[in-house]
Structure 1
Amino acid sequence: MSDASLQIPEHLFIAIDHVGVAVPDLDEAMAFYRDVYGMKVLHEETNEEQGVREAMVGVGDSGSCIQLLAPLDETSTIAKFLDRNGPGMQQLAYRVTDVEKVAAILNERGVRTLYDAPKRGTSDSRVNFLHPKDAGGVLVELVEPASDGGH
C-alpha cells in the first residue's frame, strides 16, 4: 500500500488529547490534582481489558486532560511501569480522526503499532499505541474519540 492510496489527511494528529500519568493509588492522585492543582475530575472508569482504573482530569478550560492510570493488579502494564520507573508520565496521547488510517500511514513510515487493530480506550474511544523505540523513546497513544466526542 502506498502513501497515495491512503489519502493522507492534512494533519495526522489534530490535538494533544491527554498526557497519561501512572499512579499507584487513583483516589490519592485524584485528591492531589483536585486539592493542590485545583483541577476537576471529568471522568472516571475501570478498563478491565487494559488492567487499569483511570480518571481524566481537566486542565482549566483548555479541553486538555491529564489521564491518571492506576493498576488493577500486579499483572497490569501500569503495575509493571510503576515497578520499573515509579510514578510519573507514562504516555503522550494524540487525538486523531481515524485511528486505522493514521496507524497505516505511520506503519508505512516505519513506525510500529503495539496492536494489530484498535482497542477500546477511555469513554469508548478507539486507541492504538506506537512503539517507543520507533517514537523517540516515548509511548505514543493514538486516540479516536467515540462519536459523542467527550472524555
Structure 2
Amino acid sequence: MIKKIEHIGIAVNDLEAATKTYETLFKASPYKMETVEREGVKTVFFECGESKIELLGATRDDSPIGKYLSKQREGIHHIAFFVDDLASEMSRLQKEGFQLLSESPKRGADNKSIVFLHPKGNHGVLIELCEDQG
C-alpha cells in the first residue's frame, strides 16, 4: 500500500548550480549526495517536511537521465511513493494492468529498493515505488 510521497525527482543539466539554488530556497544544505554508477546518475537530496526533493544529474549521456535531458527540458522527472512491501505492490499493480519498467526491484539511491511504473499508464507521470533496504 502506498504510504506517502517519498520524494519528487527533478532532472537538472547542472547539478552544482541546481544544488546552490535549492540550498538558497530551503536555507539548508543537502543531507545526502550519492552517485549510482549503474544508472549513470548523481543525486542530491534535500529534506522538505515529511518528504524530500531529489536532484538528478547525468554522469553520462547514455544514462536514463542523460537521455531524458537530451529530449526534455529540466524539471520534474518523477514522483516517488513509499511502500512497506515493494514486491507485494508490484504484484498488485501488475494485476491491475500497470506496466512496470523492470521485472524486479533495483537498488536505488538513498538506501532504497525501487521500481518505476511506465508513464503511459499514469497519465504521463513517471512513478517510482520505493522501500527501505533491509
Separation (CA, whole Å) in 2 of partners of 1:92 and 1:135 = 11
Distance 1:94 1:82 in 2: 23
1:26 Cα deviation (Å)?
A: 1.4
Matched, 1:100 2:75: no
More strand by share: 2
Q: Tell me the secondary structure at the aligned position of residue 122 of structure 1.
A: coil
- Identify which of 16, 21, 45 aligns with 1:32: 21
2:112 is aligned to 125
Q: Does 1:16 align with 2:5?
A: yes
Number of residue pairs matched by the alignment: 134
Question: What's the TM-score, normalizing by structure 1?
Answer: 0.85
Q: 2:66 aligns with which of 79, 95, 112?
A: 79
CA RMSD of aligned residues (A): 1.1
Moved over 3 A (4+): none
Aligned to 1:58: 47
Secondary structure of the residue aligned to 2:93 is helix
2:39 aligned counterpart, secondary structure: coil
Q: How far apart are residue 75 of structure 1 and its match?
A: 0.3
SS of the residue aligned with 2:61?
coil
Residue 142 of structure 1, aligned match among 107, 129, 132? 129
Give the fraction of aligned pairs with identical amino acids, expressed as a percent: 33
Report what 2:57 is aligned to.
Answer: 70
Higher-Rg member (1/2) = 1
Alignment deviations for residues 20-46 of structure 1 (CA, whole Å, 9 cap, x no partner): 000012111111100234243011100
TM-score by length of 2: 0.95
Identify unmatched segments of 5+ residues in structure 2.
Answer: none
Q: Is the 8 A contact 1:40 1:58 kept in 2?
A: no
Code of the residue aligned with 1:41 in structure 2: it is P
